[in-house]
Amino acid sequence: MPEPECILVLTTWPADADAAAFATRLVDERLAACVAVHAPMESIYRWQGTIERAAERQLVIKTSAARREALLTRLAELHPYDVPEVLVLKVDGGGAVYLKWVEGATERGEN
C-alpha cells in the first residue's frame, strides 16, 4: 500500500490577529489535519522599498497533498496580508500511522 502523500504549508499571521480562529477554521473545513500556531516572533523583511519589522506568528499547516489546491485557495481568501507567505513543503516520509491520520482527517467525508 502506498504511503499517504502529505505536505506542510508555512504561512505567517499578524501576532495581534486571531491565528487560532484561522487555524480552527482550516481544521473544521478539513483543509488541514493540524495547524501549529507558534509564539509571536519578530519578522524583518523588505516591503515596497523599505525594511519593515512586524510581530507575527508562524503557522505550520499539516495536510494531505490531495487538499493542497483547496487549502491554498482558502488561505488566499482568508489571509489579511496582500502578499501572504505561502510555502509548500512536500513531506518525504514519516510515521506511517501519523501520515495516515493526516490523510483521513482531511478527507471530506470523514466524521
Q: Is residue 111 part of a domain?
A: no
For residue range 56-79, list pLDDT tens digits in order.
Answer: 999 999 999 999 999 999 999 999
- Length of the chain in terms of residues written: 111
Provide the whole-model pTM. Answer: 0.93
pLDDT of amino acid 108: 80
Task: Return d(Cα 111, Cα 103) in angstroms, integer.
Answer: 13
Mean pLDDT of all residues in 36-53: 97
Number of domains in the chain: 1
Does position 111 have pLDDT exceeding 50, yes or no? no
Q: Is residue 47 part of a domain?
A: yes
Q: Is residue 98 part of a domain?
A: yes
For residue range 81-99, list pLDDT tens digits in order.
Answer: 999 999 999 999 899 999 9
Does position 110 have pLDDT exceeding 90, yes or no? no
Mean pLDDT of all residues in 38-46: 97
Q: CATH no. for residue 50? A: 3.30.70.120
